[in-house]
Structure 1
Amino acid sequence: MSRKRRRPIHLHVMVSEEELAQLQERMAEAGVRNMGAFVRKMALNGYVLHVDLGPVRELVSLQRRCSNNLNQVAIQANTYGGIYPQDIALLQKDYADLWGPLSELLKKLTQVVEM
């Protein structure tokens, strides 16, 4: 049974032990595990962009918690008929404080990815 491959041409490259170690080190830095994909990307584009999304994940997590708190306040207000205006103002402030940095980070990330 013949299987059609997307990339049917085999390319063989010889490297020294030091070069292999350097390739593996760069792959680890870029967070890439597939050597073929890494070498192909480097050969065709000249670089691999690896972005640390840790701060984004943390901000998104905080954003979700803030949204959850806001939903709980809405449930409280609808179920028991009231909520203190100060509590609503505090939640709105927390939400705005989180949205600003998240929005800025996403804008910077978009600029980096478009380069």
Structure 2
Amino acid sequence: MNVKSDDERKSKVLKIRLNDREFAKLKQYTEESGLRSMSQYIYNSILATPIIELTDEELAPDKARFKEIADSINSIAIQVNQTGNIYPEDMQEIRQGIDEISARLAEYQSKLERFAVTPQTFRAIVDKAHEDVRK
């Protein structure tokens, strides 16, 4: 027998604001999921969403490199504003910086996509959550 304390029995309320379009989408997704309520759908969606934590220490090298690139582009912009001239090598440096940033951001996006929850995984998580609630 599973006996819960008073604290475990108390429900907490979470309020969210949705515009009409967002609410309609939530209603549609709830109906498609087969769950009885929006609350259940939201709860199960939260369970199905992985929490990804990146520390400043992990991001520090990229942040430092992005700052170097931004500083370089800024100094080129200052020079262009002062002289009215932009040189091919400056344009090349800007392109290389943007390409480097884009490539690094694509790597981050690829890593995040590995955490994506498929509809099948979501259904399995919902089913598991239902079993846990019934216990």
Normalised by the size of structure 2, how large is the TM-score? Answer: 0.40
Normalised by the size of structure 1, how large is the TM-score? Answer: 0.45
